[in-house]
Structure 1
Amino acid sequence: MAEQESALRPGQEALVQPVAGNWLERHFAYTERGSSLRQEILAGLTTFLAMVYSVFVVPSMLGKAGFDTSAVFIAVCLTSGLGSLLMGFWANLPIAVGCALSLTAFMAFDLVLGQQLSPAVALGAVFLMGLIFTLISATGIRTWILRNLPLGIAHGTGIGIGLFLLMIASNEVGLVTRNTGAGLPLALGDITSMPVWLTVLGLAAIFGLERRRITGSILLVIVGLSIFGLLFDPNVHYTGLTASPQFGGEHSLIGAMDIGGALNAVVLPSVLALVMTAVFDATGTIRAVAGNAGQLDKDGQIINGSRALTTDSLSSLVSASLGASPAAAYIESAAGTAAGGRTGLTAVVVGLGFLLLIFFSPLAGLVPSYATAPALMYVGLLMLGGVRHLNTEDTIDTMAGLVCAVFIVLTVNIVTGIMLGFCTLVLGRLFAGELRRLNVGTVLIALALAVFYLGGWAL
């Protein structure tokens, strides 16, 4: 009997092995990479749960800038879904794509609320950013930028945006408020108010759940606080669970971008700042996740790296066209690689999950600000980790990076922080007699930003 079972097993395997399975194996080569179909699916679900909080946080931020939250919810789902599918099928890497929270903050609070641009012009700026980003990725200029632009400014920008996110979230729930009296501009808010103590509780919960390595910890906190709000907060109302996606109508953001409006001297520096932020942030994320998945070649380069970088930049073109903030590779993809994801099939599972979420847009209006604030604050705190990447042996580069970070927050303007960082770097090198350590690109950027501000074009 055992011999019969043994003899039948190969034939039975051939019968139960579906044609789709053969195609999946040939395309993704998960067996060759030391994975399996089950492992890739589980890894994809893990990544999806780790980053799905973005469909609530991004609409919340853009909603403050006048965007329709339901339309943004659909745009975020489409951007994340299509970007992840492209990364999976084309680059064959376990890296998911979604709307970047740092660049969302830039778009909402700097471009729209800070510079008073319309949402359409802001979307046009994101499209131009995606176009430039794609060109420099496809032509290899992205690699040149990474080699030649100062790392201090790059990391300082990330640190500054992290502080920016912390300030935005704290102000939104009333933990930090404008000081109406004399003295410093900010003051502690009403620490006894429900939004404040729920935010602090939520942030502490994320700390604890992340420490215990619980998958989807940020999502669990958002859901838990939203349920609390639904039960006890009269301002939170249940409007339904599912809805047919509306791709048209007066509130649709698809194709709403104003590219012509973004092509002016006031907006273009912000476009370049978006590009520079994305270049350093996204490239570092892709490399880190690919390394965790063992997808670096013998020379330490990312396997299918050019496709991954191009997918990353193309996704911002898609997001602008759909009405969302700039897209980028998500560091939460590391949760999937830790669960065994090794191929693009992991990203495909993530993409399919986001496309299914399109039918749940009413959930976007169910999430109060104190449910998303802990997520924003946690991401902001993580971005402060960029401090450890500063080269403390090069004090000029480090100090210029810190100038960039601090003045992003003090001026509530990301481009201003970048301008001050570049100018102090170049002038610092000049006074230190280290002109040879400067390159043409750095000097030109510093001069262009200085002229822009001294000429009175900055807002």
Structure 2
Amino acid sequence: MAVSFLGIRDFIVRVIPHSIKVSVGVGIGLFIALLGLKQAGIVIANPSKNVLNLGDLSSAKALMSMVGFFLVMFFVAKKTRGGIILAILITTAISIPFGLAKVPESLFAMPGSMEGMLFEIDILGALDPKYLPFLLAFFIPDFFSTLGTLLGVGSQAGYLDKNGNLPGIEKNFHVDSCATTFGSFFSCPVLTTYLESSAGVEAGGRTGFTAVVTAILFLFTLFLSPLATMIPTVATAPVLIYIGFSMMSSMKKVNYDDITEYFPAFICVAMTIFSFNSGNGIAAAMVVYAFLKIVTGRMKEDHWSVYAIALAMIYYFSVVASH
């Protein structure tokens, strides 16, 4: 919250090179697409070889996911209002006879008790110096993952300016940091901006009113959890696949005639996918960018803080590697 309200996060956003900012959305897009492909059973992990393989495309899960994917593309191509939601509902209905979705016995259920979770937190204990490396290891990915999500979703919505900045991004940082902090009092995982917000943008959401309506509907799901959990991953995975791949258009804004611009952009995309974290992608790209600017004698093209951030990212990676 301190770095957000003091404007530090906003400052860092502005000094991050344009090529890295526009490539963040692409890395996040491919990350979302890969997540969807895994949920659909089209891409699977091979533990014996520690690689990803093509799944069983003849399985009911993969086939139903592909049906959902083509439904999404059909409605999007036809520019059907609410087409993505419609595709999810149709896929869910078709999945019921195949046992991939189960009709709940009841539509309503009371939320569970918060006993044993509320205020189960030890702030002073966490500030013990021996835990500082771990705090950094948690802080950096959350810091840059939020940045990456905002830039990626903002780019998809067409809100980024010519320099790749998102006007009013500091307000998003304020909300994000408060949610992260106060959510911990309820023993929640980190409450942060979510990649799947791109689905809302794709459906036409462009203002804060979209988020308010979504929040209210999520509030109702506390009492409609049986109905919400009825929707299978084969219905939602196709949406992630489509939206993920549709976010790749940002790479056309990268200068491919300048290695100090396009190579860090590629690093950002690759590290986001391979490390499953957009924060790692941005961090690695900053290190490579600073190095290339130094060896080409073009340090003065950027603010000195770019190189300070790169040094901090080197330290971050050393902490992650050692722990």
Per the normalisation by structure 2, the TM-score is: 0.77
Q: Describe the superposition over 1:22-63 as per-residue Cα deviations: whole angstroms up to 9, x where unpaired.
A: xxxxxxxxxxxxxxxxxxxxxxxxxxxxxxxxxxxxxxxxxx
Distance (Å, rounded) in 1 between the aligned partners of 2:213 and 2:319: 50
2:193 aligned to 328, 346, 353, which one?
Answer: 328
Unpaired stretches in structure 1, ≥5 consecutive residues? 1-130
Deviation per CA, 1:338-358, whole angstroms, max 9, x where unpaired?
Answer: 8xx8xx666655544433333
What residue number does 2:20 align with? 153
Map Cα deviations across residues 188-208 of structure 1 (whole Å, 9 max, x no partner).
111111111211221221122
1:282–1:312 CA contact under 8 A, matched in 2 = no
Deviation at 1:362, TM superposition (A): 1.5
Q: How far 1:224 sits from its partner (Å)?
A: 2.3
**Rounded Cα–Cα distance in structure 2 between residues aligned with 1:227 and 1:213:** 22
Could you tell me how far apart the structure 2 residues matched to 1:261 and 1:239 are? 44
What letter matches 2:147 in structure 1?
Answer: V
Partner of 1:207: 73
TM-aligned CA distance change 1:363 to 1:346, over 3 Å: closer
Q: Give the corresponding residue for 1:35.
A: none
Q: TM-score, normalised by structure 1?
A: 0.57
1:196 aligned to which of 62, 78, 83 = 62
Structure 2 partner of 1:220: 86
1:441 aligns with 2:309: no
- Alignment length, in residue pairs? 312
CA contact (8 A) 2:137 2:319 kept: no
Question: Which residue in the other structure is 1:384 paired with?
Answer: 248
> Which structure is larger by alpha-carbon Rg, 1 or 2?
1
Query: What is the aligned partner in structure 1 of residue 220 from structure 2?
Result: 356
Kindly provide the CA deviation profile for residues 391-439 of structure 1, in whole angstroms up to 9, marking residues without a partner as x: 4454312210211211332344545433432222111112211111243
Counterpart code for 2:144: M
The AA in structure 1 aligned to 2:233 is: S
Measure the CA separation in 2 of the matches of 1:428 and 1:305: 28
SS at 1:208's partner residue?
Answer: helix
Aligned equivalent of 1:240: 106
Other-structure match for 1:185: 51
- CA RMSD in angstroms comes to 3.8
Separation of aligned partners in 2, 1:409 and 1:145: 23
Aligned residues with identical type, % of pairs: 23
User: What is the aligned partner in structure 1 of residue 34 from structure 2?
Assistant: 167
- Contact conserved, 2:36 with 2:241, CA < 8 A, in 1? yes
**Structure 1 residue identity aligned to 2:193:** A
Query: Does the Cα contact within 8 Å between 1:176 and 1:189 map onto a contact in 2?
Result: yes
The change in CA–CA distance for 1:390 and 1:239 in structure 2 (over 3 A counts) is: farther
- In structure 2, the residue matched to 1:425 is 289
Q: Which runs of 5+ in 2 are unaligned?
A: none
Match of 2:136 in 1: 268
Show CA shifts across 1:368-408 (max 9, x none).
22222112223322332332343445431221021121133
Shift of 1:283: 6.0
Kept in 1: contact 2:109–2:223 (CA 8 A): yes
